[in-house]
Structure 1
Amino acid sequence: MVRLLHYSDIENLYDDAERAGRFAGRLRELDGDDALVVGTGDTTAPGVVSLAANGRQVLDFADAVGTVADTFGNHDFDYGPDVTRGIVADSEFTWVSANARDEDGERFGAAEGVVPWTIAEADGERVGFFGLTDPATDSINPAAATLSFTDPYEAAEEAVADLRAEGVDYVVALSHLGGGDDELARRVDVDAVLGGHVHSVRTEYVDGTLCTRTGVNGHQFVEVELGGEAESAATDGGTAVSARVVDPSEGPMHESLTDALRRRREAAGLNEVVATVEQPLERTDETTFGGESRIGNFVADAYRAAGDADVGLQNGGGIREGEPLVGEVTLADMVSVLPFEEPVVVVELTGRELLEAFSEADGGELDFGEPDWWHAHISGASLRWDEANGELIDARVDDEPIDPKALYRVATAEYLLHSDHEFPTIAERHRAGEVGIQHDVLADHARNGGLDVDVEGRLTFEP
Structure 2
Amino acid sequence: MSRDRDYGRREVLRAGGIVLGGSLVSGSTTAADGDGPTTLTLLSYNDVQTAAAEDKDFPRLVTLIEQRRAAADGPVVVVGGGDQIGPHALSPISQWRAPVDVLNGVQPDADVIGNHEFDYGLDAISDVTADSKFPWLATNLVDSETGEAFDGTKSNHIVERGGVRVGIIGLADKGATTGKTNIDFEAEGITIEDYTETGPAEAKRLREEEGVDVVVALAHTGVPDAEALAEADTDDDIDVLVVGDDEIVYRPTEQSGTIVSEAEARANYLSEIELTVEDGSVTSWEGDLLEVTDDIEKDPDASRIINEYRAEVSLDSPVVESAVPLDATFSSNYHRETNYGNLITDAMRERTDADVAITNAGGIRSDSVYGPGEITGGDIFNTLPFPNTVVSLELTGEELVETLESQVVTLESATGQSFGEEISQQTSGLRFEWVPHEDADELIRDVYVGGEPLDLDETYEVAVNSFIANGGSGYPLEDKPVIDDTGELQATTVVDYLEPRETIAPTVEGRMQRVDRDLPDASVTVDGNGKVVTQFDAPDDVRSVAEDTVAVWTPEGDHLDAEHVAFGEGDETLVVRVDDGDLADTIEDADDGDEIPLNLYAEYESSEFDHIYFERSRLNADVTATVRERGRGRGRGRVGPPGN
Same fold at TM > 0.5: yes
Whole-angstrom distance in 1 between the partners of 2:422 and 2:259: 25
1:42 matched to 2:83: yes
SS in structure 1 of the partner of residue 207 of structure 2: helix
SS in structure 1 of the partner of residue 312 of structure 2: helix
The answer to which of 91-100 and 357-366 deviates more is: 357-366
Q: Provide the residue aligned with 2:452 in structure 1.
A: 400
- TM-score after normalising by structure 2: 0.65
Residue type of the alignment partner of 1:220? Y
Q: Provide the residue aligned with 1:2 in structure 2.
A: 40
1:297 matched to 2:338: no
Aligned partner of 1:313 among 344, 355, 358: 358
Q: CA deviation at 1:102?
A: 6.0
SS in structure 2 of the partner of residue 429 of structure 1: coil
Q: Provide the residue aligned with 2:521 in structure 1.
A: none
Residue type of the alignment partner of 2:48? I
SS in structure 2 of the partner of residue 279 of structure 1: coil
Q: Provide the residue aligned with 1:248 in structure 2.
A: 292
Whole-angstrom distance in 2 between the partners of 1:366 and 1:340: 28
1:134 matched to 2:173: yes
Q: CA deviation at 1:143?
A: 6.4
Residue type of the alignment partner of 2:198? A
Q: Provide the residue aligned with 2:428 in structure 1.
A: 379
Whole-angstrom distance in 1 between the partners of 2:269 and 2:189: 31
Contact 1:192 1:209 (8 Å CA) reproduced: yes
Contact 1:191 1:241 (8 Å CA) reproduced: no
1:198 matched to 2:246: yes
Contact 1:138 1:148 (8 Å CA) reproduced: no
Contact 2:324 2:506 (8 Å CA) reproduced: no
Once the two structures are superposed, the pairs formed by residues 42-121 of structure 1 within 5 Å of their partners are 42-101=83-142, 107=148, 110=151, 112=152, 114-121=153-160
Contact 1:357 1:423 (8 Å CA) reproduced: no
Q: Deviations over 1:318-346 (max 9, x none)?
A: 00025533333333322212111121121
Whole-angstrom distance in 1 between the partners of 2:483 and 2:378: 29
In structure 2, relative to structure 1, the CA distance for the partners of 1:240 and 1:138 (3 Å cut) is: same
In structure 2, relative to structure 1, the CA distance for the partners of 1:298 and 1:108 (3 Å cut) is: farther
Where structure 1 has 5 or more consecutive residues not aligned to the other structure, the ranges are 230-236
Q: Provide the residue aligned with 1:433 in structure 2.
A: 484
- TM-score after normalising by structure 1: 0.88
1:347 matched to 2:393: yes
Q: Provide the residue aligned with 2:604 in structure 1.
A: none
Q: Percent identity?
A: 27
Q: Deviations over 1:243-302 (max 9, x none)?
A: 311101132331121122111111234444432223231322233223111111111111
Q: CA deviation at 1:147?
A: 6.5
Q: Deviations over 1:22-49 (max 9, x none)?
A: 1111111111443211001111111123
Residue type of the alignment partner of 2:462? V
Q: Deviations over 1:133-174 (max 9, x none)?
A: 333525532367646341233332442232122221121210
Q: Deviations over 1:436-460 (max 9, x none)?
A: 2211111121124494311111122
SS in structure 1 of the partner of residue 126 of structure 2: helix
Contact 1:348 1:409 (8 Å CA) reproduced: yes
Contact 2:357 2:429 (8 Å CA) reproduced: yes
Q: CA deviation at 1:72?
A: 0.8
Contact 2:392 2:484 (8 Å CA) reproduced: yes
Q: Provide the residue aligned with 1:418 in structure 2.
A: 470
Residue type of the alignment partner of 1:36? V
Aligned partner of 2:274 among 210, 217, 225: 225
The answer to which of 443-452 and 117-126 deviates more is: 443-452
In structure 2, relative to structure 1, the CA distance for the partners of 1:147 and 1:330 (3 Å cut) is: farther
Whole-angstrom distance in 2 between the partners of 1:2 and 1:8: 20
1:215 matched to 2:267: no
SS in structure 1 of the partner of residue 244 of structure 2: coil
Residue type of the alignment partner of 1:186? E
Q: Provide the residue aligned with 1:234 in structure 2.
A: none
The answer to which of 364-373 and 90-99 deviates more is: 364-373
The answer to which of 151-160 and 407-416 deviates more is: 151-160
In structure 2, relative to structure 1, the CA distance for the partners of 1:380 and 1:448 (3 Å cut) is: farther
Q: Provide the residue aligned with 1:233 in structure 2.
A: none
Residue type of the alignment partner of 2:505? D
In structure 2, relative to structure 1, the CA distance for the partners of 1:199 and 1:401 (3 Å cut) is: farther
Q: CA deviation at 1:408?
A: 2.1
Aligned partner of 1:443 among 495, 503, 507: 495
In structure 2, relative to structure 1, the CA distance for the partners of 1:89 and 1:168 (3 Å cut) is: same
Whole-angstrom distance in 2 between the partners of 1:306 and 1:437: 11
Q: Provide the residue aligned with 1:22 in structure 2.
A: 60
1:164 matched to 2:213: no
In structure 2, relative to structure 1, the CA distance for the partners of 1:71 and 1:351 (3 Å cut) is: same
Residue type of the alignment partner of 2:291? D
In structure 2, relative to structure 1, the CA distance for the partners of 1:267 and 1:106 (3 Å cut) is: farther
SS in structure 1 of the partner of residue 403 of structure 2: helix
Contact 1:12 1:217 (8 Å CA) reproduced: yes
The answer to which of 358-367 and 59-68 deviates more is: 358-367
Q: CA deviation at 1:430?
A: 4.3
SS in structure 2 of the partner of residue 405 of structure 1: coil
Q: CA deviation at 1:306?
A: 1.6
Contact 2:150 2:190 (8 Å CA) reproduced: no
Whole-angstrom distance in 2 between the partners of 1:242 and 1:347: 54
Where structure 2 has 5 or more consecutive residues not aligned to the other structure, the ranges are 1-38, 516-616, 618-644
In structure 2, relative to structure 1, the CA distance for the partners of 1:446 and 1:68 (3 Å cut) is: same
Q: CA deviation at 1:373?
A: 4.0
Q: Deviations over 1:200-246 (max 9, x none)?
A: 222344323222222121111211233389xxxxxxx9754443111
Contact 2:117 2:125 (8 Å CA) reproduced: yes
1:454 matched to 2:507: yes
Contact 2:156 2:167 (8 Å CA) reproduced: yes
Whole-angstrom distance in 2 between the partners of 1:16 and 1:329: 15
Residue type of the alignment partner of 1:92? K
Q: CA deviation at 1:433?
A: 3.0
SS in structure 1 of the partner of residue 130 of structure 2: helix
SS in structure 1 of the partner of residue 325 of structure 2: strand
Whole-angstrom distance in 1 between the partners of 2:506 and 2:360: 18
Whole-angstrom distance in 2 between the partners of 1:275 and 1:105: 54
In structure 2, relative to structure 1, the CA distance for the partners of 1:101 and 1:342 (3 Å cut) is: farther
The answer to which of 54-63 and 140-149 deviates more is: 140-149
Give RMSD over aligned pairs. Answer: 2.9
Contact 2:197 2:232 (8 Å CA) reproduced: no
Contact 2:109 2:134 (8 Å CA) reproduced: yes
Whole-angstrom distance in 1 between the partners of 2:171 and 2:191: 9
Residue type of the alignment partner of 1:128? G
In structure 2, relative to structure 1, the CA distance for the partners of 1:103 and 1:385 (3 Å cut) is: same
The answer to which of 181-190 and 381-390 deviates more is: 381-390
Whole-angstrom distance in 1 between the partners of 2:408 and 2:254: 28
SS in structure 1 of the partner of residue 110 of structure 2: strand
1:357 matched to 2:408: no
Q: Provide the residue aligned with 2:198 in structure 1.
A: 155
Greater C-alpha Rg:
2
Contact 1:140 1:418 (8 Å CA) reproduced: no
Whole-angstrom distance in 1 between the partners of 2:408 and 2:163: 49
